[in-house]
Structure 1
């Protein structure tokens, strides 16, 4: 990638006619991220058939309204009971790995993606899918994988930018909507994968609405004993000042967006964090000692534990710096953008906040390719630019679920290290920038069970 950081703005041509301005310095990143400019309609539009016009892609008055209505879903009081659910999902993964035998070699993304999907279904929809142990449940993961692969394929071939041409291509050909008889493990094409994801979320929403109607009919309490308020509850209950709620289409779009963003990005963060700790046993041992000292043999974590893993948090942040789950954020300018150096980019142009590029800027990060968790110690962080580290973006359109994601990563890393010694296995993973940062050849680790 680019090695010249002397300019804070890099220009890249996508084909012969489409210029793209890439920001790789905190000052220029702040210039765009402090605005509410919409996401880049061209490239983000390619995944709109999957997640709809939810919080990630909507803009203007709709985005402002929905952001306000959804914010209560991420209040600390809502997030607290989720830590227990994260622990339960992680322990299912640990049990699965234990049964494989000590010294087994495991590809992280395959297993961790199922774990984070398990967690987010429990937390956001109160839906217990058994997706980690039921092989048929991996269809959703496969569909997301295929969509991100096809997304990159489409970006790399400009003729596919036309929806009409893409719909006629082998990858984009739309087929009839999936029925229950379809073999879910064979989902390959883009629109078929989108249909599978939509069917999944629609079925969950339909079941919840039926349950709520039955509860109301019988005059029972809104939520059963011990059931925490989840994301879907808040979507169904959300009301404007005039009492207007979200439409069925809006609810589905927000569920699809949250399921995708909340499981795939977090799986990337956890997988790369475990890889970096496997590569650096001295940091791995220190994280393990911190977790064991805190947990004292417990296999379930609590909300109060989240602030008591300082070094583990530093290691996760350093992994997010080197391998941010979302490597870049595109925006379309609706008005002229003034940069700190006085230059201006006119309305109508696309700009990209290069998160991975900025996280490796040697003007900000000495020895940027070195994994050094101490960069995030309190003394080393206090004078750092507010936009030097932005794995969850920043400004008004920052990731609404960042505390949810960080807590899940802490739980997963702490409990896994308490159970296993990690060791790299096979060739080093070659990272690949899709919608979410993945590894082209997988992230393979050898797991040694600890007594």
Structure 2
């Protein structure tokens, strides 16, 4: 009996050890297989421990310059090692990435960028895969039908009214203002009203806690991504202050969405779908009432995940696009003026300066300027996919499980794709200039079946917000402030983006001179 118990005890002790050893061996076999595929592509020799991380200056201007020129000098596709166990193939040319984007290959959730987003965004459309992604994409597509988007124009204009009043206050006091904070507030205001019919008054607050939490979450993701020793959840969330702060921010943004969902569910239960009558149908209505072919709706967790994903993508990425477009137009006053004249011509003879649904296709030059800003200052610089089957791309064999980083920022700046790629030149998007361009050369909203489901919503919001601002104000960069890029989850600035606004009906003084798009006084 004692011998049997001893044997059983040893079995209980040895079995976990063998399981751990088997897991480790299997893991390193997978790394070796993927590493062999990655090493087909050019790249700096990786460090045995750090990979290429020690070469990367950081997620700032220096880091972006490093990524641009190192990639271009080597090839259209490169090898990158995040530490010693996460090999990645980086694509910087349409010829390569189109092979991946044409498929619905999922995001990598073993290590790296997207797994760091899981505690925040959950298994929503951005991250989900397979049958779940396909089902939920079909269920949510009706939320972005033109009939649903049209009523949002009223929301966009009302939110713009508040922003214009704020800018008018800055103008009267001759104060510079920080663009990203102001624009993040209006995009959050719009998304909360369009998606949840929720009046947050966030634009009237100096600093909204949701905007602050989302910024910290984005910065936290990049911080963790560049430190592979923090990729383990137990270590990150329990042993580091940054991990505990990330968890607190997740809890806060989840509470915001859960409260909005609970309130709407109660209304629908008490009043039925007819409760939506008298107002526009919003994203939350679609989430709560959507049914698949079997009559099954979304679970409470799925609703929260999609709500969190839409709140983030609908306000942070759009805020980046609007802010960098305003920056580009302030930096290039000749393009700013052409956009202004176009908007003024559209609004001529009206009592209201509100932009209507019918006005959107008329804003042709503004659209060119927005697209060029999205190219030059790509809001989402990188996206990743993980192959589910063996593939051959441009003569290279990639085994299932290969991680592909599609470097949208690099593609949008690749000199073999774009002539004078570092220049702001809206005319490059004229139809006659784009007809010979690869359809995967400009993809700020990604492309293929997993493209951004809300890209029309975002473009409409950008046109209304920017058009209304240009109709009322001239934009001038603060000559005493240097705007520097920084890569977070979206493209932001290191120390803010400072700008001055002057009413259009106020003519510049004869003593004013323009310096890099900014107005300064001539010395007497």
- Structure 2 counterpart of 1:114, from 170, 181, 185: 185
- Structure 2 counterpart of 1:246, from 288, 295, 298: 298
Given that residues 327 and 356 in structure 1 are in contact (C-alpha distance below 8 angstroms), is that contact kept between their aligned partners in structure 2?
yes
- Structure 1 counterpart of 2:365, from 299, 311, 320: 311
Alpha-carbon shift at residue 166 of structure 1 (Å): 0.4
1:342-381 matches, within 5 Å, as 342-381=395-434
Given that residues 267 and 275 in structure 2 are in contact (C-alpha distance below 8 angstroms), is that contact kept between their aligned partners in structure 1?
no
Give, in whole Å, the separation in 1 of the partners of 2:469 and 2:176: 15
> 2:60 — aligned with what?
none
Q: Secondary structure at the match of 1:205?
A: helix
Q: Secondary structure at the match of 1:445?
A: strand
> 1:389 — aligned with what?
442
Deviations 1:187-227 (A, max 9, x none): xx1111001101000111111111112214xxx934232x1
How many residue pairs get matched?
431
> 2:106 — aligned with what?
38
Residues 1:214 and 2:266 are matched in the alignment: no
Given that residues 91 and 299 in structure 1 are in contact (C-alpha distance below 8 angstroms), is that contact kept between their aligned partners in structure 2?
no
> 2:158 — aligned with what?
88
Given that residues 380 and 444 in structure 2 are in contact (C-alpha distance below 8 angstroms), is that contact kept between their aligned partners in structure 1?
yes
Give unmatched runs, 5+ long, in structure 1.
175-188
Give, in whole Å, the separation in 2 of the partners of 1:134 and 1:443: 19
Task: Indicate the larger mover: 37-46 or 258-267.
Answer: 37-46
Task: Indicate the larger mover: 364-373 or 97-106.
Answer: 97-106
Give, in whole Å, the separation in 2 of the partners of 1:442 and 1:169: 31
Alpha-carbon shift at residue 101 of structure 1 (Å): 3.1
Residues 1:417 and 2:485 are matched in the alignment: no
1:62-211 matches, within 5 Å, as 62-102=132-172, 103-135=174-206, 138-174=208-244, 189-211=245-267
CA distance change for structure 1 residues 173 and 326 in 2, over 3 Å: closer, same or farther? closer
Q: Secondary structure at the match of 1:249?
A: helix
Alpha-carbon shift at residue 100 of structure 1 (Å): 2.5
Give, in whole Å, the separation in 2 of the partners of 1:360 and 1:428: 21
Give, in whole Å, the separation in 2 of the partners of 1:48 and 1:299: 42
Deviations 1:23-76 (A, max 9, x none): 111111101111111112122111111111100000011000000000000111
Q: Secondary structure at the match of 2:422?
A: coil
Give, in whole Å, the separation in 2 of the partners of 1:143 and 1:371: 32
Residues 1:287 and 2:339 are matched in the alignment: yes
Higher RCO (CA 8 Å, separation ≥ 6 residues): 1
Q: Secondary structure at the match of 1:53?
A: coil
- Structure 2 counterpart of 1:271, from 323, 345, 351: 323
Deviations 1:357-386 (A, max 9, x none): 000111110100000000011111111111
Alpha-carbon shift at residue 120 of structure 1 (Å): 0.6
Give, in whole Å, the separation in 1 of the partners of 2:337 and 2:116: 43
Alpha-carbon shift at residue 171 of structure 1 (Å): 3.1
- Structure 1 counterpart of 2:486, from 432, 443, 449: 432
Deviations 1:236-290 (A, max 9, x none): 1100111110011111110000000010000000000000000000000000000
Deviations 1:168-190 (A, max 9, x none): 2333454xxxxxxxxxxxxxx11
> Over aligned residues, Cα RMSD in angstroms?
1.4
Alpha-carbon shift at residue 2 of structure 1 (Å): 3.4
Give, in whole Å, the separation in 2 of the partners of 1:206 and 1:172: 30
Could you tell me the TM-score, scaled by structure 2's length?
Answer: 0.80
Task: Indicate the larger mover: 94-103 or 42-51.
Answer: 94-103
1:52-67 matches, within 5 Å, as 52-67=122-137
- Structure 2 counterpart of 1:408, from 446, 455, 461: 461
Alpha-carbon shift at residue 12 of structure 1 (Å): 1.2
Alpha-carbon shift at residue 326 of structure 1 (Å): 0.4
Given that residues 32 and 337 in structure 1 are in contact (C-alpha distance below 8 angstroms), is that contact kept between their aligned partners in structure 2?
no
> 1:2 — aligned with what?
68
